[in-house]
Structure formats: structure tokens, C-alpha cells
Amino acid sequence: MGTILITSATLVSAGHPLHLTSVDVLVKNGKIEKIGKSVKAEGKVQEINGKGSFLSVGFFDLNVNFGEPGYETKEDIQTGTAAAASGGFTGVAVHPNTNPPIHSRSEVSLIVNTAKGNLVDVFPVGAVSKKREGNELAELFDMKINGAVAFSDGNRSVQQAGLMGRALLYAKGFQGLIMTFPQDESIAAGNKMNEGEVSTYLGMKGIPNLAESIMVSRDLFLAEYNESPIHFSTISTEESVDLIKKAKAKGIQVTCDVAAHNLVFTDEDVKSFDSHYKVSPPLRTKRDVKALIKGLKDGVIDAVVSQHTPHEIEFKEVEFQIAKDGIIASQTVLPLLIKAGFNPESIVEKLAENPRKVLNLPVPQLVEGEDANLVLFSMDKKWTLDNNSNKSKSTNSPLFGKELTGQVLATINNNQVIIN
């Protein structure tokens, strides 16, 4: 990487003595050599002008989907991490929606070894159940000692309460974390969008908020009973925010996250029948979006995720009803958070600091002598997600071809740098 000097950037790091002040940062051989008001560098230096931009520790994504193994035509680890790095992420938790699923030490080791030497640190999330079928516990501890940072059945919810209870109790014994996607399939019934006025208008069967909140309620009871920590991934409803708020006040060990697109888009966007707005959980109402944003600002919701889910064109350029759920999102989280009204401090808290705390991973420090794990981002620079800027193999995003406000300028980690 050589030597890099970032100049005149506003540092965002709560508790840091230089928080919200303009600083220069000298990075040499992958480490922060000097940080201060005016830093001089000798020899050959790559200078990055950070004036008007913000500098923080690299972002961390708690929910990404790469295709490897089995679905490499959607995304492999190299292209997935390229998209993540372009979006400012220096760490990602990759979910087990693969073929075979990440449900044993073999798949965990594959992910860990394939991702070695990458700018982006890749952390596998092992499946809770074998084959993600929800019938039998996977070898959780075996995956943990081989590199899994948490356990989830990905985009499938564990329907059996007994299995979920056993998973919580077992993982608790070795400080493992169960991450759950809350959706009662008997209520969701395979439907395709949010249940409400818009679904009625469109004549499309909907998924009610109840399908999510009833599972949140169930799993909170199970976590409380087993005195185990639990993390809810991609909540989307006002009711879920309220349930988790009350559980936190009660002392239950619960954390949660929300996908960035659920903070901006609503079921009104589905009126176009554009399948790029088809996601799981579905886009909800304006009232839900308002509650989610308030939940983030109040600290009920701990983190924001991309829920990056790439698909080949033949799975999205079809009728809404038969299209696959999901969008590519690693590069567009920052613009969506800006559009949702979040300031740089909140963005860093929800994208860089809290996600690592959820997984009990160390938060990188912006001090001299530490490894440089950094992101430089602009809140007002405009850019377009298109074939030139897109790093993913896939193009399934409602934002493709549109001008966005807010861009990651540079990402530094593991003695590597990418500049957008």
C-alpha cells in the first residue's frame, strides 16, 4: 500500500480527544503512524484530500449474502468483498444462504481460507440447523472454534420453538450468539409484499406485521427463559421496535438491526411492480419506517445492515410474484442513511461501532501505532450506481442508474486501500 496521508478530514470517533475536529492521518505499512492537526510526511506519499469529508473506523456489515459456495454466479467472495470495500465496509458477517449452507466446519473453513489476505475481513455466520431445514441443530461449537462468529438460518426463520430454545441454551455455553430472522411462515404464507392498503389496491396477497412480531415475541420469551443473548436480524415493523424496547428495559439480552432500504422505501414503491423492490422482510408502511428511524435514534435498534443479496438477471427481470427476494446493497447503505436523515455521528455508531459490539469483536482504535482500519466518506458528494461504479456481479437494485448523495471516498484495512 505504501504511505498514505489523509488531510483535513473531520474525525468521527466518540470519546476520541480529536472527535469532530479536522485532522491529518499518516498511514505507513498499514499502521497509523501519526494523527493530529497538521501532519508532515517525508518521501513518496499518496495524499488523499479529506476536506469536507469524514473519517472513522471502517464500517462493519452484520448481514451480507455471498454466493460462495454453490452460487458463485450470483456473487463470489472476491466480488462481494469488492462491493463491500467500495461501500466503506472493512468487515462483513456472511450469512449461510449458500449451497451447501454454511452448516459445518468445512464451509466455515472454506470461507475463512478463501477470504484470507482480503482488504475486507470476512466472518462466517454458521447455520443454526443442519441444511437450514429447521429440524436438527447443526454442529454449532465445531463451527465456532473454526471461525463462525454467530449462528443463523439466514433468510429462513426457525419455526420450531423447541429447536430455537435448544439453540439458545447450547450457544450460551460457549458464548455463541443466535441471530434470527423473525417470520412466522404459517402467517406469512409465502406471500410477496406487505399486507395493507397497497396490497389490497394491487390485489396482491400480503405478509402482515403480525408474521414478524409474533416471532419476535416468541424468541424474546425463549431468550428470557434460557437467559441467553439473542439478535434479531432485519426487523421491519413498528410492533417489533416496541417489543424489543420493552425487552431491553426488562433486562433481556437482546440486540437487533434493520436493513437500510427499510428506512427509505415503503410498500408504496411496489405500485410500480418493479421486482427490485421485492425484499424479505417486505417494504412496510410509512408508519413502520418512521418507527424504525425513531428506534435507531433512541438506541432500541443497534445497527444498520445492507442485507446485500445478489441475483442473476433471470431471477429479477420477471413478474413481481415470481421474482426472488433481495437487492445488492453494500455500496448504497451510506446514501440511504443520509436520505433517511442520519448525521455522521449516528452513521458511524450504527455502521462501525455497534455492529462489532453485537458480535463481541474489538472496535478498531484511531490511535498511533494501531492497524489502520479506516473509511473516508462524504455526506454530499453525488455519484451514480451503474455498470462503471458497481463492483458486484449482479445489478439487482432499485437504485441502479440513479444519482445518489453520499459516497465512500476511500477504505483502508489490512495494509490495503481502495479509492472510489
Residues 194, 231, single domain; the answer is: yes
Q: Give the pLDDT confidence of 226-247 residue by residue, as tens digits.
A: 999 999 999 999 999 999 999 9
d(CA 84, CA 89): 5
List the Cα angle 297/288/63 in 5-degree steps.
70
Residues 310, 379, single domain; the answer is: no
Q: Give the pLDDT confidence of 27-62 residue by residue, as tens digits.
A: 999 999 999 988 888 888 999 999 999 999 999 999
Q: If 0-12 CB within 10 Å is exposed, 13-18 middle and 19+ buried, where does residue 268 land?
A: middle
Cα maximum dimension of the chain = 67
So what's the pLDDT on residue 2? 85
Residue 1 above 80 pLDDT? no
So what's the pLDDT on residue 40? 86
Residues 173, 223, single domain; the answer is: yes
Q: Among 328, 330, 334, 417, which residue's Cα sits nearest to residue 377?
A: 334
The band of 301, judged by pLDDT with boundaries at 50, 70 and 90, is: very high
Residues 283, 343, single domain; the answer is: yes
Among 358, 381, 397, the domain boundary falls at 358
Among 358, 379, 394, the domain boundary falls at 358
Cβ(24)–Cβ(18) below 8 Å? no
Which grid coordinates belong to 115? Answer: 477470504
Residues 113, 44, single domain; the answer is: no
Residues 334, 225, single domain; the answer is: yes
Cβ(98)–Cβ(71) below 8 Å? yes
Mean pLDDT of all residues belonging to the chain: 96
So what's the pLDDT on residue 103? 96
So what's the pLDDT on residue 248? 98
Four-residue CA torsion sign, 141, 62, 247, 283 = negative
**Which whole number is the average pLDDT over 306-331?**
96
Residues 109, 217, single domain; the answer is: yes
The range of the structural domain enclosing residue 381 comes to 3-55+367-419
Strands 374-384 and 403-413 come out as antiparallel
Cβ(301)–Cβ(256) below 8 Å? yes
Percent of the chain with pLDDT over 70: 100
Residues 197, 300, single domain; the answer is: yes
The band of 193, judged by pLDDT with boundaries at 50, 70 and 90, is: very high
- The number of folded domains in the chain is 2
Q: Identify the CATH number of the domain in which residue 323 sits.
A: 3.20.20.140
Residues 69, 49, single domain; the answer is: no
Q: Identify the CATH number of the domain in which residue 394 sits.
A: 2.30.40.10
Ranges assigned E (strand) in 12-105: 22-28, 31-36, 46-49, 54-57, 59-64, 89-94
Among 315, 335, 358, the domain boundary falls at 358
So what's the pLDDT on residue 185? 96
Q: If 0-12 CB within 10 Å is exposed, 13-18 middle and 19+ buried, where does residue 209 land?
A: buried
**Taking each helix axis from N to C terminus, what angle separates 161-172 and 209-226, rounded to the nearest 10 degrees?**
40
Q: Give the pLDDT confidence of 93-144 residue by residue, as tens digits.
A: 999 999 999 999 999 999 999 999 999 999 999 999 999 999 999 999 999 9
Q: Which amino acid is residue 39, in one-letter code? A: V
Residues 185, 313, single domain; the answer is: yes
Helix (H, G, I), strand (E, B) or coil at 288: helix
Residues 262, 276, single domain; the answer is: yes
For the whole model, what pTM was predicted?
0.96
Residues 349, 392, single domain; the answer is: no
